[in-house]
Structure 1
Amino acid sequence: MEFFSAPGMKEYKRIAGMNIGRVAIILVTRNGKKSPESRFALIVESARQYTIKMNELKFFYRSFRAKFPVEDDCTFCRFFPYEGVFELNPD
């Protein structure tokens, strides 16, 4: 019996089922016309890690919005779980 299920756990379980228990969380940011787009991937291997990383990224998003209050094509911050199948190589 589960006592607590955070929002997003169904999503985590569905994606982890495709990737042997792993989920990639993608962070995409850009802060102005002169700045290139940055992409970062986090690999988590448990529901607990997933919840912790998503909460950390929510705080990152809040601080980004505080520094750059206007969101447009050149200034944005997005994070989301990657919903496809992926393979991890040892290198």
Structure 2
Amino acid sequence: MLVVFFIMVVGVGVGIGVRSIPHFRHVGKWISGAIYFLLFLLGREVGTNDQLLSSLSTLGIQALLITSGALVGSVFFAWGIYKFLFQNDER
């Protein structure tokens, strides 16, 4: 994981360095295309993995529960922070 973080930091540094070069202004379109292609390859790998497809219903339920818990927790803590920091005390 540290390698991935290091590569990302180097990428940010390179991005800052080349942002004034006009040829690199349209790199975002190429990056979007690369991401779409990688998502396609990921979907192809999932579709060809029999073990993953057989347990997809269980994984879907787990993903739904984790997502629901994260959503409810985020809303609850955002509400609490709003009440604590941003509402005036009207007593």
Greater helix share, structure number: 2
Please give the TM-score of this superposition, normalised by the length of structure 2. 0.28
Query: Highest CA radius of gyration, 1 or 2?
Result: 2
Please give the TM-score of this superposition, normalised by the length of structure 1. 0.28
- Structure with the bigger RCO (C-alpha within 8 Å, sep 6+) is 1
